[in-house]
Amino acid sequence: MSTKGTRIPEWLTVPFAGITPAPTQEKGQDLFPTGNWRSIRPVYRDKLPPCNNACGTNEKIQGYLDLVKRGKYLDAYALIKEDMPFPSVTGRVCYHPCETACNRGQYDEAISIRAVERFLGDLGQALQRDVVKPGKPNGKKVAVVGSGPAGHSAAYQLARLGYKVTILEKSPKAGGLNRGGIPDWVLPQDVLDREIERLIELGIAIKTNTEVGKDVSWDSLKKDYDAVVLAVGLTEPNSVRAEGENKQGVIYGLPFLRDIGMGTSKVKLGARVAVIGGGNTAIDCAREALRQGAVEVTMITVEGNPKEMPCVPEDLHDMLEEGVELIHGKAVTAVLGNGRVEALELHPAKFSGAINASPITINKDVAAEKFAVDNVIIAVGQHASLAWLPAEFKTERGSIKIDRFGRLGDTNFFAAGDIVQLGSGQPLMVVNAVGDGKRVAFNLDKALRGEALEPRKIAIDVIVDLNRMNMTYFPHFPRVKQDMLNPTSRKKTQDEVILAFTEEQAVEEAGRCFSCGTCNACDNCYLVCPEPCIARSDRSNGLYKILVDYCKGCRVCIEECPTGCLEGVPELDFDAGVVRMDTAFAISPGLHGRQAQELANLASRPAKEL
């Protein structure tokens, strides 16, 4: 008898035939620690999705799309509200750099993120009480000058941090550029009104008809408040420096839109209107002109073709659909007429490439061309009105001089939005101003607490390479299109042109999201692991756990991770949780014996119902 006198030590006692009790979610297979076979360890390492990175305020876009996908709309709304005070507004007006960056664009069509944001924003608007609450009062007072996107955002975040915030707005109505720069048919006034109400619900005081430099001074701001955020925006339209520009019938784009927005417009347009400029404001002006009664609207741009125009292509497309004509490569050199504009003198022109100085080269060797008009709307950018600002904080291009934290020198004044972003290379857009307001609010808070301020973070590991994901999990699927009003009827009304997603559309579109580089709890790793080495406590983000005592590093989960969140990290990079070959034995003495006992008891346990 060869087995006579043999003895199996207690710590190596194995259950009958190696049959083990069933693995559990918490402990996996809990018997044979095969983890020392591993040279690569799977690690959940979320990357930054390109949408989140491209967003001016770094909305957690992947996060809320994922929540929408699961029908958790309120959670999605709450998530968006962390970074964005008014998703109902940006859901309509944003130039969506997120969609431009969307990895899905490389694959079929970018996700219609803005439409989903609008869906969530409108959901938030319908709530009786907002999900956001003011912070515990800290007794400190902050003034925010300007109620446009940057001021709105800064005031919102500061209120959440517990500050007593007062917004000073020079116009009769709060909203700034959101109200005065965006036409009703893009952003209905009542939507904005509701967002302003939300600010008041947070305990923010809004003083309208209060202009810095006139009603309040630099010194009084300094005296009356612990800190100030200057978000005054760019309020003054640029001129085209053409002869006769002061004639009647010449209007500037921003005041044109602003007066309509504020309800104080007295403009009556003639039949023929020329719009000077090729940017987004010019497009809004051209389309608004149609709605204000113009019959023939012509846009005159220095840019040589539509592709060079610094605007959002969809808006250009929608404008052309409404019948606006384009003239390219021309500059206005004179406004002709007897007291009132009758025609424009146009010369061939192009951009010289020079920055800030005189960017346009006009060819006056060619005979001027006359273009008959009844009105001209000039929309070639805007600048600030900063007479009230101490000279030391002004830049040569007329914006506010700040450090990399958004602070004016060593004062408790901070500045945000277009007023600091002009000429910074960052496109001037609502979402960038919102992000700026948010970051400045956080730095203001740090300054008042005496903590170190933080510059804008540079993103590391933005996932843009589709090879880092497993594309076999993503069938091609077209973008869900937002319905729009018919161009012939819409161009005469202030009705919103682009229609909202239905719930079904929002869920379908959110479902197209790759969740680039980010775990979205798809359960694939949990399902494909050949042994139960992946434990799951709940089916929601980030709650998977690799049981490293058992994981053999087969890489199946890594390869099969659709989003590329799972990475294989060489085992040598770790100094904990590793069972090395030379120390290989049962994880704890007696484990096997315990398992053997558990198996023996199995028969006496009641059978679970199937």
Distance in Å, CB of 570 to other proteins, minimum: 22
Which of 5, 21, 396, 493: binder of other proteins (CB under 8 A)?
21
Return the range that interacts with other proteins (CB under 8 A); candidates 3-11, 217-225, 234-242, 459-467: 3-11
| Binding window for other proteins (CB under 8 A); candidates: 7-15, 326-334, 476-484, 515-523 | 7-15
Nearest-approach distance from CB 544 to other proteins, in angstroms: 20
Q: Are strands 164-168 and 205-207 parallel, antiparallel or unpaired?
A: parallel
Query: Interface with other proteins by CB under 8 A: which range of 18-26, 171-179, 183-191, 230-238?
Result: 18-26
- The minimum distance between CB 584 and other proteins, in angstroms, equals 6
512: left (phi over 0), alpha (psi -120 to 50) or beta: alpha
582 binds other proteins (CB under 8 A): no
Cβ-Cβ contacts under 8 Å for 479 (sequence gap 6 or more):
108, 109, 110, 111, 112, 509, 512
Cα–Cα distance between 245 and 273 in angstroms, integer? 15
Subset of residues 519 to 548 that bind other proteins, contact rule: CB under 8 A: 531
Count other Cβ atoms within 10 Å, centred on residue 77.
25
User: Candidates 32-40, 127-135, 137-145, 280-288 — which segment interacts with other proteins by CB under 8 A?
Assistant: 32-40
* Using rule CB under 8 A, residue 20 touches other proteins: yes
Contact in structure between 62 and 511 (CB atoms under 8 Å): no
Bridge pairing between strands 141-145 and 227-230: parallel
Question: Least separation, in Å, of the C-beta of 29 and other proteins?
Answer: 6
By CB under 8 A, tell whether 29 contacts other proteins: yes
Give me the torsion for CA of 555, 561, 562, 567, rounded to 10°. -90
Residue 460 sits in the site that holds other proteins (CB under 8 A): no
Query: Cβ closer to other proteins: 3 or 486?
Result: 3
CB of 605 to other proteins, least distance (A): 7
Residue 331 DSSP class: E
Backbone phi and psi for residue 542, each to the nearest 5 degrees, phi listed first? 70, 10
Q: Tell which positions 135-154 bind other proteins, by CB under 8 A.
A: none
| Residue 14 interacting with other proteins (CB under 8 A) | yes
**Residue 320: count of CB within 10 angstroms of its CB:** 16
Which two structure tokens, joined as six digits, stand for 381? 């950018």
Instruction: Give the separation between CA 52 and CA 50, rounded to whole angstroms.
Output: 6
| Residue 388, token pair as written in the block | 């009230």
Contacting residue, 27, 32, 485, 522, with other proteins by CB under 8 A: 32
Q: State the minimum distance, in angstroms, from the CB of residue 43 to other proteins.
A: 22
CA 462, CA 457: separation in Å to the nearest integer?
13
Regarding 327 and contact with other proteins (CB under 8 A), the answer is: no
* Using rule CB under 8 A, residue 18 touches other proteins: yes
Using the CB atoms, write b or e for 401-434: b if 16+ within 10 Å.
Answer: ebeebbbbeeebbbbbbbbbbbeeeeebbbbbbb
For every residue of 457-505, DSSP letters joined together read PPP--B---GGGS-GGG----PPPPPPB--HHHHTTS-S-SBPPPPHHH
Q: Does 33 bind other proteins (CB under 8 A)?
A: yes
Q: Are 275 and 300 in contact, with CB atoms under 8 Å apart?
A: yes
Among 5, 6, 338, 367, binds other proteins (CB under 8 A): 6
Among the residue ranges 74-82, 93-101, 190-198, 602-610, the one whose residues contact other proteins (CB under 8 A)? 602-610
Residue 354 or 600: the one with the smaller Cβ distance to other proteins is 600
CA gap 549, 587 in Å, rounded: 8
Q: Which is nearer to other proteins, 478 or 606 (CB)?
A: 606
Sorted by sequence, the CB contacts under 8 Å of residue 355 that are 6+ apart come out as none
* Residue 93 backbone dihedrals phi, psi, to 5 degrees: -105, -15
Smallest CA-to-CA distance from 87 within 169, 153, 133 is with 153
Contact pick of 359, 584, 588, 590 for other proteins (by CB under 8 A): 584
Contact flag: residue 57 with other proteins (CB under 8 A) = no
Six token digits for residue 481: 């299109």
In the complex with other proteins, the residue whose CB is nearer, 37 or 218, is: 37
576 lies in the site for other proteins, by CB under 8 A:
no
**3: contact with other proteins by CB under 8 A:** yes
- If one asks whether residue 585 binds other proteins (CB under 8 A), the answer comes out as yes
Give me the least distance between CB of 35 and other proteins, in Å please: 10
DSSP one-letter code for 380: S
Q: Quick one: which of 5, 22, 126, 246 contacts other proteins (CB under 8 A)?
A: 22
Closer residue to other proteins (CB): 479 or 592: 592
Instruction: Give the x-and-dash track for 196-225 against other proteins (CB under 8 A).
Output: ------------------------------
Q: Which residues bind other proteins (CB under 8 A)?
A: 1-3, 6, 8, 12-14, 16-23, 29, 31-34, 36, 531, 552, 584-586, 592, 599, 602-603, 605, 607-610
